[in-house]
Homo-oligomer: A and B are copies of this chain.
Amino acid sequence: MAKLEVQGYRGTRDFYPEEFRKRDQIYSSLKATLKSFGYEEYAGPLVEPLELYASKSSEEIVSKQLYSFVDRGNRQIAIRPEMTPTLARMVAAKNASLVKPLRWFSIPQCMRYERPQRGRLREFDQLNVDIFGGNSVDEDIEVLQLVVKILDNLGATPNMYEVRINHRKILNELLYSHLKFSHNLQRELIREIDRRDKISKEEFELNLKNLGASENQIESLQCFFNSFETQTLPEFPEFQKAWKEVQLVLQVLKDLGISTVKFNPTIMRGFDYYTGLVFEVFDKHPQNNRAMFGGGRYDNLIEAFGSDSLSGIGFGAGDVPLIHFCESHGLLKDENKPLDVVVCRFSENDRTQSFVLAEILRAQQLNIENSVSDSKFGKQIQSAEKRGATCVAFRGEEEVQKNEFCVKFLKTGEQKNYLFSEVGALEFKKALKEF
């Protein structure tokens, strides 16, 4: 038989314990922050009927990135490329009985068929956070505050990132009511405006011209993007309303001492379903320097299920750019395996007493490895050092006679004996804490 490959499927990752601990550090922080805001965790299936994504996901995902296939019972299903369709299905199923506002989060494993590159893989975890059914301005403020808090609690400082916000209605009113662009150009316009900050002024204007924009339209648009703060803004009521909402959100955030959220009229967030505030979190590290994640407000989460419309705001943050962010900015503590003691033994004859010793120490809520090895004592100690243990514990002839156990602290070489009992274990635990 041919040898099997040790390499996994392209665009996936193996998390060895060391890598796992890194990601777990991040997830623990995320979860604690979310819970401190009253968000609750939920989970859903790895696969859904294909029609759910066909109806709720973007056309790009469905036609190019979906892992879809036919099951053994001839049902069309797909591995989830994102969580929102499942969220919508779950909320629609129990909408009437769920007390609003809902604050929910999940960290599902997802898959998209993409070209693997820095910050983008085929398989990834995606933190999904949503609040819906409450007062929209308050929800908008809370989600932005939460985003900042998540990054703060990961150890980020304001120079490391920026949250850029915009409002779909501001752009819509400007483009279609004020500048009279054709609605047919929506997709193309969103794409070009989204790219504006990444290309030259000339290229941006040429692209718009190629879409059929007049010089007047282009000039007005540029003028708005460049100096919206000082300009006389269009008088359309919808525009003014959205503009005031954005100002209010920014004011409350300022009052909360948050300085990293800024208005930026070119933030588009491609997806069609956003209807109000949209935002993107930028990683300012020169190695990354790109949108880390983002989200926005939507109105029609569960309409496709025949339910009333339900408005909310949410975001999805992939683990890949999040890990890059934390690594690039040096936010990850180099945490070792949490191992307090390795219990060693002199020979196989000590088997039972070493198992018992391990058990007595474990009862003190300590993490204990039993060396389960008959190699030489010195080797067992070396191995305990490699494994990152704080100390080794054992019972030689002398200790057995005195009904004690001996502990050797690996860093200092210090040795101390304790009673071989709960009392002794407790005393040792205190010494360990002070160590």
Cα(A217)–Cα(B135), bound, Å: 78
Cα(A145)–Cα(B374), bound, Å: 20
Chain B residues within an 8 Å CB radius of A1: 55, 304
Which secondary structure dominates where chain A touches chain B?
mixed
Let me know if A138 is at the binding interface, CB within 8 A: yes
Digit string of A61-94 for contact with B (CB within 8 Å is 1, else 0)? 0000001011111010101000000100110111
Chain B residues within an 8 Å CB radius of A37: 362, 367-370
Cα(A202)–Cα(B92), bound, Å: 54
Cα(A93)–Cα(B8), bound, Å: 10
User: Chain B interface: which of A40-48, A155-163, A179-187, A275-283?
Assistant: A40-48
Chain B residues within an 8 Å CB radius of A71: 67, 113
Let me know if A355 is at the binding interface, CB within 8 A: yes
Cα(A13)–Cα(B46), bound, Å: 10
Cα(A134)–Cα(B365), bound, Å: 25
Let me know if A17 is at the binding interface, CB within 8 A: yes
**Known A-B contacts A1-B55, A77-B9, A99-B387; A135 and B47 likewise in contact (beta carbons under 8 Å):** no
Let me know if A255 is at the binding interface, CB within 8 A: yes
Let me know if A178 is at the binding interface, CB within 8 A: no
Cα(A15)–Cα(B69), bound, Å: 24
Let me know if A359 is at the binding interface, CB within 8 A: yes
Chain B residues within an 8 Å CB radius of A10: 75
Digit string of A125-149 for contact with B (CB within 8 Å is 1, else 0)? 0000001001100110110010000
Digit string of A340-358 for contact with B (CB within 8 Å is 1, else 0)? 0010000000011001100
For A149, the closest partner residue in chain B by CB is: B362
A residues 27-65 touching B (CB-CB < 8 Å): 35-38, 40-49, 51-52, 55-56
A residues 202-249 touching B (CB-CB < 8 Å): none
For A43, the closest partner residue in chain B by CB is: B15
Q: Is the CB of B123 within 8 A of A368?
A: no
Chain B residues within an 8 Å CB radius of A135: 372-374
Q: Is the CB of A4 within 8 A of B36?
A: no
For A138, the closest partner residue in chain B by CB is: B372
Q: Which among B9, B36, B104, B255 is the interface contact of A49 at CB below 8 angstroms? A: B9
Q: Is the CB of B79 within 8 A of A46?
A: yes
Cα(A132)–Cα(B23), bound, Å: 25
Q: Is the CB of A368 within 8 A of B338?
A: no
Q: Is the CB of B41 within 8 A of A17?
A: yes
Let me know if A376 is at the binding interface, CB within 8 A: no
Q: List 20 A-B contacts (CB under 8 A).
A: A4-B52, A5-B49, A8-B45, A9-B47, A10-B75, A12-B45, A13-B45, A14-B86, A15-B42, A17-B41, A17-B104, A21-B40, A37-B368, A46-B109, A67-B71, A72-B113, A79-B79, A135-B374, A252-B352, A255-B356
Q: List A residues at the B interface (Cβ < 8 Å).
A: 1, 3-10, 12-17, 20-21, 24, 35-38, 40-49, 51-52, 55-56, 67, 69-73, 75, 77, 79, 86, 89-90, 92-94, 99, 101, 103-104, 109, 111, 113, 123, 131, 134-135, 138-139, 141-142, 145, 252, 255-256, 304-306, 337-339, 342, 351-352, 355-356, 359, 362, 365-370, 372-374, 383, 386-387
Which 7 pairs of residues, A with B, have the shortest CB-CB distance? A38-B369, A12-B45, A138-B372, A69-B69, A17-B40, A6-B93, A15-B43
